[in-house]
Structure 1
Amino acid sequence: MEPNERLPPYRLPLNRVLIFFSLAILGGIADLWSKQAIFAWRGLPGEKPVWWVIDGYFGIETAINLGAVFGIGQGQGALFATLSVFAGVGILMWLFWFRAAESLWLTVALGLISGGIIGNLYDRMGMWWQTGYPEPWKSGVRDWILWQASENWKWPNFNIADSLLVVGACMLMIQSLFFAPTSPQDGQEDAI
């Protein structure tokens, strides 16, 4: 290609935009709806005992996470909310400015991550909090899924947003470890 020759204008596949925003919006809605429904049914943390789906292994128990992953950073809700906003903007730029949306795999992964960001950011901003709740809960994330191997081997409670974030992050890891990037200028389509 001659240096003066112009590249054709970038045409974003419409289906990628629909896939990304559908996953992000529906993922956020599923997370927020499930939190609202479970907390209405089971009450605030400590009000009711665990409701076991599989006795001793998988259940429903409401909890408030005041930190981030595994409760790290307790009380830093404003910081995590700010990081979530920056991550969301970064994802949009990566997908649509830097053309990651050319890859269906990356579009799905980043759509899932965005759905998780939406669900947990809503909680971090205190939009669920009501007068009478403990003040530290204002920036806490509502969790309700309990998973354990025994009383000594408990996974911290989590929610659908956390699940979306983990699945999306695993997809990004698989992409980076097993699939070499291809360049659209090479005339090759994405492997995934």
Structure 2
Amino acid sequence: MTFAIADKRLFRLGLILCAVIIVADQISKAIMMSVLEQHPYGIPILPVFSLVTAWNKGVSFSMLRNLPPEVLSGFAILVSLGLIYWLTRVENRLIAVGIGCVAGGALGNVIDRFRFGAVFDFLDFFIKTGSGWEWHWPAFNLADSAITVGVILLLIDGLFHRVDRAKTEHS
């Protein structure tokens, strides 16, 4: 079995983006942990946004929080390895960027699970009404944002670019 990379520039782009996201995520978390240590109740920024300290033992929206962090980390590492393998086959910049975002975000959160047993989240968006009712989006971090952006890019490619390719193949 031979191992070949379809487009070395796109492979390198995806890996560099993955690494940049991991580093930026860890730096942002270290800074926010330090800042929020002095503000245990959070820091209001806008009427709909605060910086908070939140620890997520699960995955998105705290799902699977009862699983050990090693299981969640192992799964995230396997997914990231699968994505990096996919990156060796990529011939499209949008997919390379999407894969780099998802893998970088997943691995950034894996680092938290290994270090702390949970993922540090600090971005809190919410809605307050005059009657005192509040609705909070689950707190998240830069890694989560990168995963979301990456998935959206992969969906855009899957929904629109694949249709374009199918049209040209049938013409």
Q: TM-score, normalised on structure 2?
A: 0.84
1:189 aligns with none
C-alpha separation between the residues in 2 aligned to 1:75 and 1:34? 27
- Give the unaligned 5+ runs of structure 1: 1-9, 130-138, 187-192
Cα deviation, 1:11-57, whole Å, max 9, x if unaligned, reads 6433212211111001011111111111011129xx622211213x1
Q: Does 1:29 align with 2:6?
A: no
Secondary structure of the residue that 1:156 maps to in structure 2?
Answer: coil
**1:113-170: CA deviation from partner (whole Å, max 9, x where unpaired):** 1110121010112x2x3xxxxxxxxx21000001112252210110000000001011
Structure-to-structure mapping, 1:31-46, within 5 angstroms: 31-43=25-37
Q: Distance in 1 between matches of 2:153 and 2:5?
A: 25
Root mean square deviation, CA, Å = 2.0
Structure 2 partner of 1:114? 103
Q: Which residue of 2 aligns with 1:19?
A: 13
Fraction of identical pairs, as percent: 25
**Residues 81 and 11 (structure 1), Cα distance of their counterparts in 2 relative to 1, 3 Å cut:** closer
* Matched residue type, 2:43: W
Which whole-Å CA distance do the structure 2 matches of 1:80 and 1:160 have between them?
A: 18
Which of 75, 81, 93 aligns to 1:89? It is 81
| Structure-2 change in CA distance of 1:54 and 1:15 (3 Å) | same
Q: Which has the higher helix share?
A: 2
Query: SS of 2:65's equivalent?
Result: coil
Q: TM-score, normalised by structure 1?
A: 0.76
User: Residue 136 of structure 2: SS of its match in structure 1?
Assistant: strand
Paired residue secondary structure (2:162): coil
Give the structure 1 partner of residue 138 of structure 2.
156
Report the Cα offset of residue 79 of structure 1: 1.8
For 1:115 and 1:89, the matched residues in 2 are separated by: 11
Corresponding residue of 1:133: none
2:125 & 2:55 partners in 1: Cα distance?
Answer: 16
Distance 1:117 1:88 in 2: 7
- Structure 2: give runs of 5+ residues left out of the alignment: none
Q: 1:140 aligns with which of 102, 109, 118?
A: 118
CA distance in 2, matches of 1:87, 1:145: 25
For the 8 Å contact 2:54–2:121, the answer to whether it is kept is yes
* Cα 1:82/1:104, change in 2 over 3 Å: same
- Code of the residue aligned with 1:178 in structure 2: it is F
* Greater Rg by CA: 1
